[in-house]
Structure 1
Amino acid sequence: MSDDAQTRIATAVKSADVLLFMKGTPLFPQCGFSSRAIAILDHLGVEYATVDVLQDPAIRAGIKEYSDWPTIPQLYVGGEFVGGSDIMMEMYEAGELLELLDQKGIAHA
C-alpha cells in the first residue's frame, strides 16, 4: 500500500467519530453488505461519515491492509476498527454496538 493511501486512511479514521468505508454512498450503496451497514447506523441514529472505496482504488486496496481485514464495508468507531457488516449486525443485535457508542461518548438516538 502506498504511504499516501495509508496517510489518507489514517486521517479519515481520525476525522470522524464514526466512519464507514463502504462501496457506494449512503443513498446509493453498491453492495448488500454496505447497504446493511448503513441501515444499522441509520437505525442507531448516529452521525457518521463514509468513504466510497469505489472512487479510489488505492483506498480500496489500502483499507484492507490498514485494518488487516479482507472485506468492505469496514466500520471505525472512535478511531478503532470494529469490523464488517456481519460483526456490526451481531454487535447491533446483542446491544454491543450501542454500548460501544456510549463508551466512546458518541451521541445517538
Structure 2
Amino acid sequence: MNAEIVRALEIAFPEPVSVGARLADLGVLFSALRKMRGYDAAVEAITDEILDIITSGADGRDPSLGDEAISELQKALLKWNGQREVEAAAHKRIVDEKYKSLESE
C-alpha cells in the first residue's frame, strides 16, 4: 500500500530536472537538427540565441539565478562548446577526405 502511494506521488510530483540536464538535452536536439539538410540557417539562428541566453546566465548577468544554477550553466556551457568543437572537427575531416578523394581521381 505504501509503495503504491509513493509511486502515485512520484508520478504526480516528479523530481525536478536540473538546468544542466535540460541544456544537455538541448545540445543533443540541436546536434540532430544541424544534421538535417536545408535548415542550417534557421537552426544556427536558434542555437545562437539559446547559447546567448545560456552564456548570460553562466556569466551571472541574471540576478534571479543562484550560485548553484550559475555553476550548472557554466558546466553545461563547457560541455556544449566541447561538443560543438568535436562536431566541427568531424565535419572538417569529412570535407577534407572528400576533397582528397576528388584530387586523387
Do both proteins adopt the same fold according to a TM-score greater than 0.5, normalized to the shorter chain? no
- What TM-score, normalized to structure 2? 0.28
Flag the structure with larger Rg: 2
Bigger helix fraction = 2
Between the two structures, name the one with larger relative contact order (CA 8 Å, sep ≥ 6): 1
Bigger strand fraction = 1
